[in-house]
Structure 1
Amino acid sequence: TDEEQFVTILGNRSAEHLRRVFAEYMKLSGFQIEESIKRETSGHLQEVLLAVVTCARSVPTYLADCLHKAMKGAGTDDKTLIEIMVSRSEIDMLDIRAEFRRMLPRLCT
């Protein structure tokens, strides 16, 4: 797998198209796209590609994960918390809240 191919496909396709690509990739390779990205890339590129995949699969899941990361450990990332809470409050905050609650048992272990 070529890093450039990941960037080209993930950067130029709609979320709907990407979900179909992920399903077909799984059928053909036997691997989730995330597994291949983790094997083939590293560093910031890997983080960005995995974020794009997570967003394509579910924006609320991605944002719930961002909220968790912003709150875990000592201190909080106030900028990220405020950006998400303000920008998503009228769009999909209820979906993000539901996803965060669904993820909570896994996040606490």
Structure 2
Amino acid sequence: MSFRFFLQPTMALITAAIDGVRDARSGKPPYAWLMAHSAEPERRAKWREGVTATARILLLGVVMDVIYQVRVFGGFRYPNEAFVLAVVLGFLPYLVLRGPFDRLARFWIRRHPNHRKDSTP
């Protein structure tokens, strides 16, 4: 079950890339910056957006940890551990990587202003 240490961060990386590019195209400020510098209602909305985007990853992590605990310990004995691992392996990489993907996409968009999603080579 150690593949979860690769699977969850990889899924978080893919989700962060998709959301970062979407942010860059729409002109939104970087996600982590908004989380740190916005007022409470907007911060809560952004937090919800991030949790919603990573919900499948978090759920996958909890399910994998439950399977691991049942196989190793004979039951689901450590629910807090399952939750913490899911957050650490799923949400934190998303939070850290969404901003850099946003910046890379903004750089790409500035360098290639005529490039569109639907353009053909």
The TM-score with structure 2 as length reference comes to: 0.28
Q: Which has the larger radius of gyration?
A: 2
Relative contact order higher in (CA < 8 Å, ≥ 6 apart): 2
